[in-house]
Amino acid sequence: VCVCVCVCVCVDYYLDLWTFEVLGPTDLIVAVAGDDIILPCYLKPNISAEDMTVDWLNLIITDGHVYRYQNSKIIRDQQIPSYIERTSLFKEELWRGNTSLKLTRVQGTDEGRYKCFIQSKSCNGEFIIRVLVKGEPVTTSGVIEGHREGGMGLLCESEGWHPEPELVWLGSEGVHLSAGPPETHRDLEGFYTVKLHVIVQETDINRFTCRVQQSRINEKMERFTSLVSELFDYATPWRISSIVLCCLGAITGLALAIYCICNKKGNDNILHLQVI
């Protein structure tokens, strides 16, 4: 009995002194928005992490942690609010050194660099994992805004992107059209909505393309807008001037006619009184 106790004590002593490495994937992890992902992290050799501290950190957010396991229980103090109820370890795998993190319902703000930090009584190690979140664009639309000075106004709008995309208007020949800076809005989950206004001139085809693209995730969407020539005819300066002059002429003519009628009636009344 004494020998067995001695052996157990020695084993525990040497386990505390055992050094380990923290390993994980070196490639970028691409996550699709809304999906669940696993951030792999494990010990080498595959010793138990059940009595160790397992800390997951988002290196962009310094105030708080993504997940902490310590003294065989989950520590919820100082957990970043956006990760509450979305993170967990595989507790049944801790005994063989698996400290991977499961992250559910991925959102745009989850993108970044994560540190897996493991600490025992005598040793500690860490590993950095990079995560890229790929948004699923909801829609891309082209809207005819109407006549603008110099041509027709068009609006392109697209939402649900991550990372932030590039938005351009292309002419009938595929050439980039000159436009102002895009309007960008980012929601609470980190997804982008972008808008871009442009004024176009009449061409032989009158077919214009709104292109939204994000090269990092190899994503591209296009929306085509075709215009009839009559819209541009109506918008030309001489046509507008002619319409305005015609309206002014009609109003002036109507006013003169009313004046003449009223004046004639007034003169007829005066003659009638003189006769009486």
What's at 256, amino acid-wise? Answer: L
The residue ranking higher by pLDDT, 173 or 60, is: 60
Per-residue pLDDT of 4-23, as tens digits, reads: 333 333 344 444 456 899 99
Fold of 16-133: Immunoglobulin-like (2.60.40)
pTM: 0.69
Measured between alpha carbons, how far is 26 from 40 in angstroms, rounded to an integer? 10
pLDDT tens per residue across span 146-197: 888 778 899 999 999 999 999 999 998 888 998 888 999 999 999 999 999 9
Among 24-33, 185-194, 195-204, 265-274, which is the least confidently predicted range? 265-274
Count of Cβ atoms closer than 10 Å to residue 212 Cβ: 24
> Pick from 147, 153, 152: which is nearest to 243 by CA?
147
For residue range 62-78, what is the model confidence (pLDDT) as tens digits?
889 999 999 899 999 99
CA dist 191 and 189 (Å) reads: 6
Domain extent listing, the chain: 16-133, 139-231, 236-276
Helices (H), the chain: 2-17, 229-235, 237-275
Question: Can you name the CATH fold of 139-231?
Answer: Immunoglobulin-like (2.60.40)
Fold equal for 16-133 and 139-231: yes
Q: Select from 90, 109, 112, 93 the least CA-distant residue to 101.
A: 90
Query: Residue 193 in contact with residue 158, Cβ under 8 Å?
Result: yes
